[in-house]
Structure 1
Amino acid sequence: MKSTLRSTPLLMILPSLLLAVLIIGYPVLDLGWTSMQEVSRFGKLMGFSGLKNFSEVFADPLFYASLGRTVIWTVVVVGGTLVISLPVAIMLNDDFYGRSVARVIIMLPWAISLTMTAVLWRWSLNGRAGLINATLMDLHIISEPVEWLATASLAFTVEILVGILVSIPFTTTIFLGGLSSLPQDSYEAAAVDGARPLEMFRHITLPLMKPFINIAIVLNVIYVFNSLPIIWVMTEGGPANGTDILVTYLYKLAFRFGQLGKASAISLIMFGVLFVFTIAYVFLVMRQESDNLAEEQVLNDA
């Protein structure tokens, strides 16, 4: 009887689990098989080539340059998004006149296609007829137009800022959900004890928000790591491949140069990187939580 009760939850989620394995597992297996084939530019498998595609990828300096920029892109965009979104969510969680309108304004960019947002920013950053240059010149901040997307370093910096901007609505939504579920008695007790807002944020809000911050980190890393529209629409990885990240490098190999075997190998590498990151991060979080519980147990026993 007990064994039946224990297996009931597993049996209930088994159909969904099998469906998820089918939906995710089959494409990954097919991708792995394709990455070990000689593939024509039209997608026809020409014959088994073993690890040739992987060796060509690892011998390509553009791969390592794109990988480095991918790490910078992901870390800075996700970090910047978290740093900005949490204070924004705390402000929107307070009760003030016009809060509903403010929430709608913050969430509105989320409803717009990421590609359309990138098109709008590319037009705004145009060196000759862009809105940004016109505004800055009207305010006498700059004396002549700036070619924002003409050099790789400046273009990549601008794309990172745009990436942070478009990621804020989603992350703010996660944090708002977390803040609305926090117990208010802790804040009331802290206020009675004379705690200041910064102290309450540090000792109450941050510890209680850790599960939601962890969710935001994992989801944003996966989302930003694979994000194609911003960089592709604004610069197509240029100038001179100077803003390429792995996903734009992969896109060029597959659809511009017809090297589908190498593109499949890079896709598999990207999947492996994200899989390892997710498992490692979840493991570290679970370990930290178990350590915290052990410390609390020791303090309670003392």
Structure 2
Amino acid sequence: MPADNDRHLRNRQMLFLLVAPSAAAALLITLVPVLLLVRMSLSSVSRFGRVGDYVGLRNFTRLATDPLLPDIALRTVIWTGSVVAGTLLIALPTALVLNRRFFGHGLAQFLVLAPWAISVTSMSVVWRRVLSDEAGLLNRLAMASGLIERPIIWLGSIPASFGFEIMVAILVSVPFSTVILLAGLSSIPTDLSEAARLDGAGARARLRFVTLPLLRPFICVVLIFNVAYVTNSFPIIWILTQGGPANGTDILVTYLYKLAFTLGRLDEAAALSIVMLCVLGALTVLMLRMLERPAYA
């Protein structure tokens, strides 16, 4: 017994020595920017980045009285909820199909997962060209097929442009989510589904009572990553509309950029960053608590 205890102690010490440097580096990389943001959010900052006097919560008070912020915050919630829900609704059945063996299975996996290798910025630039006013591919195809007589300004109205941005964000998010869900499906023992089938359970019953409960941890992982990623997704909206027209498609991250680098209100931008960090942190903790619950709870 003493020998076993000594061995376990040495193993823990070795593990600590291996993990400690990377943990310290990660803590340094994340903690220092957060501390600098906190300092900026509690100080007056010039448009050139010079940190001045301590002002307390004045920057947060200014944010609370910003007339644009309530609509932008609501739009961010709509943006995040629509993209995350749409991604899951497409990625889950896609993963279920790709988890089966059929003719062309490898090609189908490649076509679904290949866009993951393309950067979000590149995808946004392509869609900007597709949706451009006269020379855009969508207008040219619609006119060539006789569906429209003159070019349509697809990104000229708030509902249309915001809808296209949500669509592009869903298409960009589906490959990564599909990979995570495929990994989850591959980890489910086939014996469970086969036993349920022998007991008379149909395909829907097996999906509802066997597959989905066991897949729930992976679904939670998809939700956690996508909520954090989509909320901070800058390139799609910025490249397609730059938050326009008239701030009508701005979300918090694009408005934060405008506050900092267009309006020169760096202190308020830092305060908004802290608010977003706290909200995302709270959502992540909530979803992690959901992840800890048993699959059949």
1:126 aligns with 2:132: yes
Q: How does 1:5-154 map to 2 (within 5 A)?
A: 5=8, 8=12, 11=16, 13-154=19-160
CA contact (8 A) 2:213 2:295 kept: no
Distance in 2 between residues matched to 1:263 and 1:43, nearest whole Å? 11
CA–CA separation in structure 2 for the residues paired with 1:291 and 1:94 = 25
**2:248 is the counterpart of 1:242:** yes
Residues of 2 paired with 1:91 and 1:234: CA distance?
Answer: 32
Distance 2:37 2:6 in 1: 39
- Report what 2:181 is aligned to: 175
What's the counterpart of residue 257 of structure 1?
263
Instruction: Work out the percentage of aligned pairs sharing the same amino acid.
Output: 46
Q: What secondary structure does 1:289 align onto?
A: coil
Q: Give SS of 2:139's match.
A: helix
- Report the Cα distance in structure 2 between the residues aligned to 1:88 and 1:280, rounded to whole angstroms: 27
Q: Structure 1 290/250 Cα, relative in aligned 2: closer, same or farther at 3 Å?
A: same
Amino acid at match of 1:279: V
Aligned: 1:289 with 2:294: yes
Q: Distance in 2 between matches of 1:190 and 1:270?
A: 45
After TM superposition, give the deviation of residue 18 of structure 1 in Å: 2.8
Aligned residues: 291
Which amino acid is the alignment partner of residue 277 of structure 2?
A: F
**d(CA) in 2 for partners of 1:175 and 1:4?**
38
Pairing 1:280–2:286 present: yes
Partner Cα distance (1:178, 1:290) in 2: 13
Partner residue of 2:275 out of 269, 274, 282: 269
Cα distance change of structure 1 residues 236 and 3 upon mapping to structure 2, 3 Å threshold: farther
TM-score by length of 2: 0.91
Correspondence 1:173-212 to 2 at 5 A: 173-212=179-218
Q: What's 1:295 paired with? A: none
Runs of 5+ in structure 2 lacking a partner?
A: none
Instruction: Give, in angstroms, the shift of residue 140 of structure 1.
Output: 3.8
| TM-score after normalising by structure 1 | 0.90
Distance in 1 (alpha carbons) for counterparts of 2:112 and 2:296: 37
Give me the whole-angstrom Cα distance separating, in 2, the residues matched to 1:138 and 1:109: 28
Q: Flag structure 1 segments of 5+ consecutive residues without an equivalent.
A: 293-302
